[in-house]
Amino acid sequence: MLSSKMEKALNDQVNAELFSAYLYLAMVAYFEDQNLSGFAQWMTAQSQEENFHAMKFFSYIHERGGRVTLESIEKPQFTWASPLAALEAALAHEQYISKRINDLVDLAIDEKDHATNSFLRWFVDEQVEEEDHVGGIVQKLHMIGTEGGGLFMMDRDLGTRVFTPPVNA
């Protein structure tokens, strides 16, 4: 059984993951508007992945006998100064989500809630990947610049991403 404090913290994370999906959907719209369909495809997959994360928390709350409560999802920013600025914002957001996951782990340890601590381990590893993937794109954009042929090639590369739910999750 979850403590009421843990139940609230996990519900807040459902909201944070749904906000992540919403923020990345706003980036899809921005990239489509910039005629960068590959960037838009990459962010579509990213948004779908965030919905998957939200549902993982949603299911876990129920598995532990808790009650899911859905709150309003904050309106996301919807325009950026450049594709690089949008990706930098995505990286900053992932760093924020990593901190939230770490705070949840701290709470699970404080409460001696071993089941939740074990459940969160998947997210700790996932956040390492998330920061690495987005950070890698930011680094490449810094190298190639955000104009001309480099941006075109990057758009083509990013357009190959498809989200498939991980089998070990």
Binding site residues, ligand FEO, CB under 6 A: 17, 20, 50, 53, 94, 97, 130
Q: To the nearest whole angstrom, how small is the minimum distance from the Cβ of residue 20 to ligand FEO? A: 5
- Among residues 88, 18, 80, the alpha carbon closest in space to that of 49 is found at 18
> Smallest distance, Å, CB 8 to ligand FEO?
19
Task: Find the shortest distance in angstroms from Cβ 150 to ligand FEO.
Answer: 26
Query: How far are the Cα atoms of 15, 19, 77, 145 from residue 138, in angstroms, in the given order?
Result: 26, 21, 19, 10
List the structure tokens of 34: 């910039």
Cβ atoms of 148 and 141 closer than 8 Å: no
Q: Give the residue closest to ligand FEO by C-beta.
A: 53
> Residue 11 or residue 20: which is nearer to ligand FEO going by CB?
20
Question: Between residues 93 and 154, which has the closer beta carbon with respect to ligand FEO?
Answer: 93
Which residues are within 8 A (CB) of 63 and not within 5 positions of it... i.e. 6 or more apart?
A: none
Looking at beta carbons only, is 7 or 94 nearer to ligand FEO?
94
Nearer to ligand FEO, 16 or 40 (CB): 16
- Cα-flanking dihedrals φ and ψ of residue 38, to 5°? -70, -45
